[in-house]
């Protein structure tokens, strides 16, 4: 099933020594699945810059293909170019380019304002060296006034030089297929890989989803709420729902899957096994 499809796992940059150890354990387990790459987040406003860089270099040294997330975080363009050159010198050839979340209390992100400007900066400073991934939003970015605006700016970002996109997570496969169709009618033809968030802790997920504009369908919300503190039922139901979602996406032609692991290997591994995806 995974021939010609692209599979990747995302780690959150760790902030503590215990976090570093947890990420290493998760990486050890997920490496056995031989994904195309691992990505490492860049905290809002560049808050995890050191943790991101160190994690990226460690994973790279271990022989994994790794894609650092990069956002402006208020940095001057020259600082971003320095970071890009350091990655390039270390043999890293894939970047996830983002505007980044604006940390609370920070009004703006500095010289660069939108992700398309970062994509332009990467292309103008490092040519075609990096495969550039950008973010996509099948359920529309919370700041977008309407779907036309979403598609207009997504196209500008893609035309600036993005090679492929990874979506915000969602639990409604139709939202993804509809978005891909709309992209195609707008002349956007890069691969758009669904971002998959396994459901582990429902309370945290519900809070996070409200912030980032990802919808949890009512039927999933109600079922999850009925489990109260029964973690095992939450995990079993979540696994079933997300496995079915992934099946639909792959059967419907999605070019791969990108798992938001939150540095936990098992939830993604269980879904991977349910999908009968062999190591590549």
CB of 139 to ligand FAD, least distance (A): 11
Applying CB under 6 A, among 7, 9, 11, 42 the residue interacting with ligand FAD is 42
Is 10 an active-site residue?
A: yes
* Residues facing residue 196 across a β-bridge: 259
Applying CB under 6 A, among 14, 161, 194, 195 the residue interacting with ligand FAD is: 195
> Cα(21)–Cα(121) distance, rounded to whole angstroms?
34
Report residue 236 as tokens.
């079993």
**Half-sphere exposure (CA, 13 Å, Cβ side) for 120?**
11
CB of 32 to ligand FAD, least distance (A): 23
| 143 near ligand FAD, judged by CB under 6 A | yes
| Shortest CB 2 distance to ligand FAD, Å | 20
Distance CA 202, CA 205 (A): 5
**Residue nearer to ligand FAD on the CB measure, 94 or 157:** 157
What is the rounded distance in angstroms from the CA atom of residue 108 to the CA atom of residue 124? 23
d(CA 84, CA 264): 28
Name residues whose C-beta falls within 8 Å of residue 22's C-beta, 6 or more positions apart in sequence: 14, 263, 264
Q: What is the largest CA-CA distance in the chain?
A: 53
Give the per-residue SS3 of 235-255: HHHHHHHHHHHHHHHHHCCCC
Q: Is 141 in the site for ligand FAD (CB under 6 A)?
A: yes
What is the Cα–Cα distance from 79 to 72, expressed in whole angstroms? 9
Q: Which of residues 96-115 bind ligand FAD (CB under 6 A)?
A: 96, 98-101, 114-115
Does 94 contact ligand FAD by CB under 6 A? Answer: no
Shortest Å distance, C-beta 153 to ligand FAD: 4
**Tokens 């639909």 sit on residue:** 248
Using the rule CB under 6 A, is 44 a contact of ligand FAD? Answer: yes
Q: Is 69 helix (H, G, I), strand (E, B) or coil?
A: strand
Does 71 bind ligand FAD (CB under 6 A)? Our answer is yes
Q: Is 36 a binder of ligand FAD (CB under 6 A)?
A: no
Measured from the CB atom, the residue of 166 and 173 that comes closer to ligand FAD is 166
Binding to ligand FAD (CB under 6 A) within 162-191 occurs at 166, 168
What are the catalytic residues? 10
What residues line the site for ligand FAD (CB under 6 A)? 41-42, 44, 69, 71, 96, 98-101, 114-116, 135, 141, 143-144, 149-150, 153, 156-157, 166, 168, 195
């Amino acid at each position: 099933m995974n021939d010609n499809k692209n599979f990747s796992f995302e780690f959150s940059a760790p902030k503590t020594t215990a976090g570093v150890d947890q990420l290493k354990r998760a990486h050890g387990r997920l490496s056995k699945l031989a994904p195309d790459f691992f990505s490492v987040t860049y905290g809002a406003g560049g808050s995890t810059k050191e943790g991101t860089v160190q994690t990226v270099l460690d994973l790279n040294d271990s022989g994994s293909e790794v894609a650092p997330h990069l956002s402006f975080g208020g940095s001057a363009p020259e600082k971003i170019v320095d970071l890009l050159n350091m990655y390039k010198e270390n043999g890293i050839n894939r970047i996830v380019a983002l505007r980044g979340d604006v940390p609370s209390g920070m009004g703006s992100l500095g010289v660069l304002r939108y992700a398309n400007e970062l994509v332009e900066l990467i292309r103008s400073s490092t040519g075609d060296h990096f495969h550039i991934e950008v973010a996509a939003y099948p359920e529309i970015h919370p700041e977008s006034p309407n779907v036309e605006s979403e598609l207009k700016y997504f196209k500008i970002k893609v035309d600036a030089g993005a090679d492929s996109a990874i979506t915000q997570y969602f639990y409604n496969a139709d939202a993804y297929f509809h978005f891909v169709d709309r992209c195609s009618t707008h002349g956007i033809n890069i691969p758009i890989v669904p971002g998959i968030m396994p459901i582990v802790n429902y309370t945290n997920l519900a809070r996070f989803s409200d912030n980032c504009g990802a919808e949890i369908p009512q039927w999933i919300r109600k079922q999850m709420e009925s489990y109260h503190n029964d973690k095992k039922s939450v995990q079993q139901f979540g696994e079933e729902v997300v496995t079915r979602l992934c099946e639909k996406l792959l059967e419907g032609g999605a070019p791969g899957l990108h798992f938001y692991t939150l540095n936990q290997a098992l939830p993604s591994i269980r879904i991977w096994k349910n999908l009968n995806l062999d190591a590549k």
